[in-house]
Structure 1
Amino acid sequence: MTGQSASPTCWWEQPGVLHRVVCDLLNAELTTMRRRPLLHTLPWPNELHLIRDLGADSLELLSLATSLSELLHIHRSGIEDYLLARLEIQDWVSVAYTSLRQHSADITFSTSGSSGTPKRCEHSLASLQQEISELSVLFDGRRRVLSAVPAHHIYGFLFTVLLPQALSIKAEQIIDVRTSSPGALLSAMQPGDLVIGHPDYWQNLARLARALPDNVVGVTSGAPCPNAVAIDMRAAGLNKLVQIFGSSETAGIGWRDDETAPYTCFAYWQAQDDGAALARRMPDGATARFTLQDHLTWQDENHFRPAGRRDQVVQVGGINVFPARAAKVIAQHPAVQDVVVRLMRADEGNRLKAFVVPRAGYEDDLMLAETLAEWASAGLSAAERPATYTFGAALPRQSNGKPADWII
């Protein structure tokens, strides 16, 4: 679409959609930089001022402008400097809109960056629309979208920006439910709704779900969804819970609506190198190759099952987290001789846990746990911080010397 005038079919022309994408990005970036939630909850009014209302300093403003320019490729239109000259939300949305009228062919998403360095993943709009053409068949007939995910990440962009447009769902029927309690959301559901969430969100919803309206469909992605959650939601009346498998690098790879079944890959993917890579047939007919971060076991050429990560990442609340990074930060405390961090067992919860070998002189476990929790808060994001600390004279090992799990 470079150099072409905008048309009513452009995603950013839908009322309020570009505003939502911009605000979600700025909110996430400021929250990450400050390591705490902002006092101003979404949605933000047009007149919200980045300095007066959000207290952004010069370094934060520069980082925010860079992030928005990177997401929407504003730098390619040459008007990114206007972001630092006009500081109300409506000004930034206006700059983004003007830029998209000149260049909208590509968009760059970032991974969560829990390893310390977020990865930039550029996608052509045409390739995202290629996925939407398959998703729109899966979700035909939906009337509203209830979203519990941000719109500036690839999952949220696909399912709360592009998919509603393909399904002719008006912008006012895309409802942000991130600040709604599970009980309030259940009361607000209507027949024909499409609910976009992540496994932790669905897990909380399943605890309260009773007698849902007819014909409500759910979607989950970002982490494996426990089978029990899908079973409980169907028992409560959910028509189906569609699980999407993919990543920021690849976008969607496949889907399933039965937790016992393998995933069906989208038609444009093909396994390569014994499943270690995928080839994608792009909209222009070219072929792109992607190295996978996950082990996939292929049942046949169209169906696969995930078999664990290749890069030791785990997911907490739908966010990629590297336990080794959390352990590295905790190990820097002078009271710590050795430490290991790993994901809790399914019966323990869905957060990280830490096993610490203290140095001599630190015998008060309760006080040390509080001290390390405070230390972790200063250097780790909420998803990266261990929720529990266990102490011992040596790290847990199996009889063969390999690392072992521990019960909290």
Structure 2
Amino acid sequence: MIWTSANVRRIILDTAGRILQNPHAGLPSAVSAELDLYRDVGLDSISRMELAAYLNEFFGVFDTSVENYLLAGTTLDHWVNCILRARSQVDDYLTFRTSGTSGAARTVRHSMASLLHEARFLTTLLPRPDRVISLVPANHIYGFIYTVLLPALWDVPLCLLADVPATAITANTLLVGTPFTWEFAYQSLLAGKSQPCRGVSSAAPMSPGLFDQLISASVSLTEIYGSSETGGLGYRHRSEAPFTLFPYVTRLPEEPVRMCRTDTGASFPVPDWLEWVSATEIRVLGRLDDSVSIAGVNVYPAAIRQVISECPLVANCDIYAKADVGVQKLYGAVQLRTLTEANRDAFLHWVRQHLSAPEIPQNLYIY
């Protein structure tokens, strides 16, 4: 059964975590149904309205009866019951948001039929685990398919990494992460050790170095290529290998490149430059637009440069992306009109107010 109270709670708290910029709203995987979104989670009236807007959009609650009004209560149980009732009335689509920041996140609607078709294929691609451990939010399409649909189809338990001791990770445990969360998992759990388990990574390109480190730590890793707009498109098990397309994904004979899902007939443009190794194998060469992926989020250096230039303290700035050991990082050089310690601190405060964490250059030279 897909729509359980536990799954809906996870999606609500992961969406709240996006608003609070705190994964899973800082809570463990098991929480009380009486948890209060204001008192216990810290969502004020404005942020609750934002959360309700996200969830109404995600679940299509507004397409159902008026009794499913989320803002009529503040307990998690009330919100879960509204959503469960809404999905019992209409269960045709879900609406996800892309991970773009400066590029403005867009909404993408996927049918439940297409999401379930992908998940059922994945149950044949990936061996059934004893449990799934999530390092990703369930309100993203990748997290939803791999940490909501797959555990339900496999009928295996799901938990968060923070709730699981390292000794509970076995060779038949599946960890679901992104390159960013896999790097955290490697540094905190796997560095210099052998920890046999299975893993899946998606949402951004994984660097060959990290891929090889995980393989050396006895992680049986599968990397998935896809996007919020397209869903999963292909997979590989080695960093040097091309991606093999999912069996229901084909290329259309037109330019620019479009893909087609033979199960639904839906077609869509591909967001990346591709090298076609064969009719069913591709290498991903880079984005078609000017975005770069930072911690699994698409950011736009030109837009970041524009935002920083609007700070009254700034005379000139340059923002650019560069790969460091296969991982894209943002670099910046900012000239202040008057360089003092007070102006430097004020500028950094201004940056934190106007840019999200992935948009702030990790290497920022101020002069």
**TM-score, normalised via structure 1 length:** 0.82
Alignment partners' CA distance in 1, 2:223 and 2:123: 15
- Confirm whether residue 326 of structure 1 aligns to residue 310 of structure 2: no
Deviates more, 1:126-135 or 1:150-159: 126-135
2:68·2:85 contact (CA, 8 Å) conserved in 1?
no
- Residue 300 of structure 1 corresponds to 278
Question: Of 158, 163, 180, which aligns to 1:174?
Answer: 158
- Alpha-carbon deviation of 1:26? 2.1
- Residue 2 of structure 2 corresponds to 11
Question: Of 194, 197, 203, which aligns to 1:212?
Answer: 194
**SS in structure 1 of the partner of residue 357 of structure 2:** coil
- Residue 278 of structure 1 corresponds to 259
Structure 2 gap segments, 5+ residues each: none
1:21·1:152 contact (CA, 8 Å) conserved in 2?
yes
Structure 1 gap segments, 5+ residues each: 1-9, 393-408
1:356·1:389 contact (CA, 8 Å) conserved in 2?
yes
Alignment partners' CA distance in 2, 1:231 and 1:275: 33
- Residue 29 of structure 1 corresponds to 19
- Confirm whether residue 151 of structure 1 aligns to residue 131 of structure 2: no
Cα pair distance change 1:80/1:67, threshold 3 Å? farther
Query: Which amino acid is 1:357 matched to?
Result: Q
Alignment partners' CA distance in 1, 2:324 and 2:129: 33
- Confirm whether residue 263 of structure 1 aligns to residue 243 of structure 2: yes
Query: Which amino acid is 1:95 matched to?
Result: C
Cα pair distance change 1:367/1:314, threshold 3 Å? farther
Q: Percent identity among equivalent residues?
A: 31
1:331-379 Cα distance to aligned partner (Å, 9 max, x none) = 11123222221234315975422122343xx245x66554332111001
- Confirm whether residue 309 of structure 1 aligns to residue 297 of structure 2: no
1:167-186 Cα distance to aligned partner (Å, 9 max, x none) = 221xxx21111x46xxx764
**Bigger radius of gyration, 1 or 2?**
1
Question: Of 226, 229, 248, which aligns to 1:246?
Answer: 226
- Alpha-carbon deviation of 1:209? 3.2
1:140·1:167 contact (CA, 8 Å) conserved in 2?
no
The size of the alignment, in residue pairs, is 363
1:369·1:389 contact (CA, 8 Å) conserved in 2?
no
**SS in structure 1 of the partner of residue 324 of structure 2:** coil
Cα pair distance change 1:205/1:130, threshold 3 Å? same
Question: Of 348, 372, 375, which aligns to 2:347?
Answer: 372
Query: Which amino acid is 1:303 matched to?
Result: E
Cα pair distance change 1:37/1:106, threshold 3 Å? closer
- Residue 118 of structure 1 corresponds to 105
Alignment partners' CA distance in 1, 2:228 and 2:49: 24
Cα pair distance change 1:113/1:231, threshold 3 Å? closer
Cα pair distance change 1:57/1:203, threshold 3 Å? closer
- Confirm whether residue 79 of structure 1 aligns to residue 66 of structure 2: yes
Cα pair distance change 1:349/1:277, threshold 3 Å? closer
Alignment partners' CA distance in 2, 1:55 and 1:140: 40
Alignment of 1:51-70 (within 5 A): 51-70=38-57
Cα pair distance change 1:222/1:274, threshold 3 Å? same
1:194·1:219 contact (CA, 8 Å) conserved in 2?
yes
2:248·2:263 contact (CA, 8 Å) conserved in 1?
yes
Alignment partners' CA distance in 2, 1:175 and 1:59: 30
Alignment partners' CA distance in 1, 2:321 and 2:274: 21
Alignment partners' CA distance in 2, 1:260 and 1:37: 32
Question: Of 145, 148, 151, which aligns to 1:161?
Answer: 148
Query: Which amino acid is 1:264 matched to?
Result: T
- Alpha-carbon deviation of 1:267? 1.4
Query: Which amino acid is 2:240 matched to?
Result: T
Cα pair distance change 1:295/1:330, threshold 3 Å? same
Query: Which amino acid is 2:269 matched to?
Result: T
